[in-house]
A and B are shown apart, each in its own frame.
Chain A
Amino acid sequence: MADIITVMNLGWRYAAPGGGGDPIQGLRDASCYVQQGALAGVIGPTGSGKSTLVKALAGIIPHCTKGSLNGYVRIADMNVKSTTVSDLSLRVGYVGQDPRAQLTSPTVAEEIAFPLENRGVEPDEIEARVDDVLAMLHIGDLRDRDTATLSTGEMERVAIGAAIAGEPDVLIVDEPASLLDEEGYEDLVNVIDVMRRRTRMTAVLVEQDTRFLAQRADAVFLMVNGEIIRRTTADIFTRERSLLESVGVIVSDQDAMPLVIESDEPGAADNPAVVFNHVHARYADSPPSDAPQLDDVAFAVQQGDFVAITGGNGSGKSTLTRLVNAELRPDRGQVVVNGIDVASRTPVQMAQQVAVVGQHPADMFCAQSVREEIGFGPRALGVDDDEVARRVNEMVRLFDLYEVEDMPAAALSSGEQRAVALACALVMHAPVLVLDEPAAGLDHRLKSRLLNTVARMNQEGTTVIIATEDADLIQRYCSHAARLDQGRLVSYGRVRANGQRFLAPPPVQSSHAASDGKGVAR
């Protein structure tokens, strides 16, 4: 069978950020071949060049990115160097890591229709195709929704819909598992299966979660440090498991153990850090006919707990986290943090109580360098310069940011950005830490490193609230979990551990803290 993707000796250097400094090597002498109709997986640790490789397949590199390219890329009989991105899109569907950056239209239907309109498809056919795609991805109820009001997972589904609408010969999806819930991922898998059978579509998936690839991939490319070091089949997950684990790629033997939440009384916390008191929230731009983002959610988080807020795409996880620091105000109900009614405070005032890491770390960056970024918050709160410098140095050491401390945070890789965002939150020394999908898209080693740091802070008394769908993370780190479904609380209670619970070493100065029940694995 002919190769539909040919990559030979591909090298790419990103132009230096801000015009100064050295270019950043993205790819080194990468070569791979994918047969038509195959399912190919690209795996590797964070920052290994996976996204760079697939951007080169879609033509975004070199046509829309500053840098220098050498080598050869051919996809669907088109030479990437000499074919525009638009013309490549005739046969190549691409979904990037950040779906927000890929949505071009105000409504979901328009977004999916967009590629078909560009192809000159007849209006009746466009309508029919849009309905088909919405049905395949089970997002028919989102048809007329404003794309700005979608959750990140919903945006990912819509972006996938727009990519498959034109029935591409090659579908490239970058890290869908980090954004989609179980149902959404299953829909993607089904779509890929159907289209591979029907049109011999080739699929290229970049993934950290390797379960699907281990079962179904025809070709697997392992990337480390910009190079493809293995070009093989799914056998790699059994034959070279130790190599994969050594570079941070997790290999699951079986499906993840289901999360079990022991039912507790949601309001029973004798020393609550955060109380959600029958909160009801609806975004101002949501149509009145849509369900509210949160509907009568009530539970309390004990001081020192590590609580997960979990649920499918669009269940209200991110919305709930945004209530804690007054970023968002509930329409009804009350949120109380350490005895303070959040409604009586501004976000600036709440910054002393609550430190937040949002789902999209790049959105929070305001400064010119990583050091300034980390020092931004304490400086804004009036901490003196010496103390700010001390805290910044501590965070740079903790997250090993020495090599990038003078670079703008926006120019870093996704994993480094998440580390900087977490450093910006921890440096505030707030009693409550709120994290929204902090480990999305990170390799296992980096994920463990960041979350182990958070767990140690929790052991030292910080209350942690984390919004995540990662059942393994919840079972490993969290003491309690609240499950949401369509904005409603369906269960709250202690997490039943899966036997691989993270055990933070006791702090040196207070060995008795391990016995007071605060934040230590039970």
Chain B
Amino acid sequence: MSGQFYVPATGWLHALDMRVKLCMTLVVVVLCSVWGNWMFLAATLVIMHVMLLTGHVPARHVGRLWAVLAPLCAFVAVVMLLSMNAYGTGVLWRLGWWRVTSQTLMMCLVVVLRIADIVLALFLTLFTTSHADWVRGLTGLHLPLSAARRMARAVNVVPQWFAIYRERRLMRAVRGAGGGLAAFSDAWTVLRLRERRASVASLTRGAQMHTGSAKPTVMRPAHMRLMDWLVLGIVVLVAAGVATMVALGW
């Protein structure tokens, strides 16, 4: 495990400017949170899968994401079905005190699709944006270089922890110790130690250097291509269209 969400590939999504992807993610998150139209939510989910497929993101990574997401969605749906017992009138099924209505099912479907859409939107950016892209894009949004680097590292804290956990578990295993619980606390300690070492290493390479009037730069500054503007335009149009439909009460 590489310790980052980023999946190297050469698709159009990887080439897309990070700021456009971030905008796309934010638009999807906001629209899916605001509009509960199940057809819109389902269509968004399908479109994002098509984007990942055409962007050459390997299917096994999307599969791994669903391996975590599907049980989560199922859990949420079951909790909703059990707890929204008194909601709705169109009873589809009854078992003693517990009843399932068409309205409850529809609400479950909308919530599950929302969760899936939001998570997919986040991972659409995470899978296709490298550390350099994050730094480039965030400095393009006028964040200071040091802050951009910190945020780019923070994005991958969770996969880094998992990678270290697996490493520690393996180290214990080759010494004959099974079981992974002790490796949990090990992993946190090692992660903090590595963060500290990286911080010292950064200082020896000039991070936080006083350079007077010279501002830090990036090797390849962010630059919007025609394709990036096109995609941004589409995102804005879709957002405007959906906002109009919501306003019209669809």
Contacts and interface: CB of A to CB of B under 8 A. Distances in A.
Contacts of B172: 366, 380
B197 A347 contact: no
A33 interface: no
Given A107-B132, A126-B219, 20 more contacts: A58-B204, A86-B206, A86-B209, A87-B210, A107-B130, A115-B206, A117-B219, A118-B205, A119-B206, A119-B209, A122-B217, A126-B217, A130-B219, A146-B8, A163-B205, A284-B1, A348-B178, A351-B175, A356-B174, A381-B176
Interface stretch (A97-105, A199-207, A235-243, A330-338): A97-105
Contacts of B2: 146, 148, 284-285
Contacts of B208: 84, 86
B221 A364 contact: no
A339 interface: no
B160 to A, nearest CB: 10
A364 to B, nearest CB: 5
Given A115-B206, A166-B206, A102 B201 contact: yes
B203 A84 contact: yes
A109 B201 CA distance: 16
A346 interface: yes
Contacts of A109: 219
Q: Is the interface of B mostly helix, strand, loop or mixed?
A: loop
21 contacts: A60-B204, A84-B210, A86-B206, A89-B204, A90-B206, A104-B207, A106-B130, A115-B205, A117-B219, A118-B145, A118-B211, A120-B216, A148-B3, A285-B2, A287-B8, A351-B173, A364-B174, A366-B186, A380-B172, A380-B175, A428-B175
A60 B171 CA distance: 29
Contacts of B173: 346-348, 351
Nearest to A100: B197
B82 interface: no
B218 interface: yes
B210 A86 contact: yes
A130 B217 CA distance: 14
Contacts of B145: 117-118
B198 interface: yes
Contacts of A377: 175-177
A426 to B, nearest CB: 13
Interface in B184-220: 186, 197-198, 200-211, 214-220
A99 to B, nearest CB: 10
A42 B243 CA distance: 70
A352 B178 CA distance: 13
A376 B175 contact: yes
Interface string A371-399: 00000111011000000000000000000
A104 B132 CA distance: 12
Interface centre among B3, B170, B221 (most CB of A within 10 A): B170
B128 interface: no
Nearest to A410: B193
B223 to A, nearest CB: 10
Nearest to A63: B203
Interface centre among A117, A327, A428 (most CB of B within 10 A): A117
Contacts of A350: 174
Nearest to A121: B217
A424 interface: yes
Nearest to B200: A64
A113 B219 contact: yes
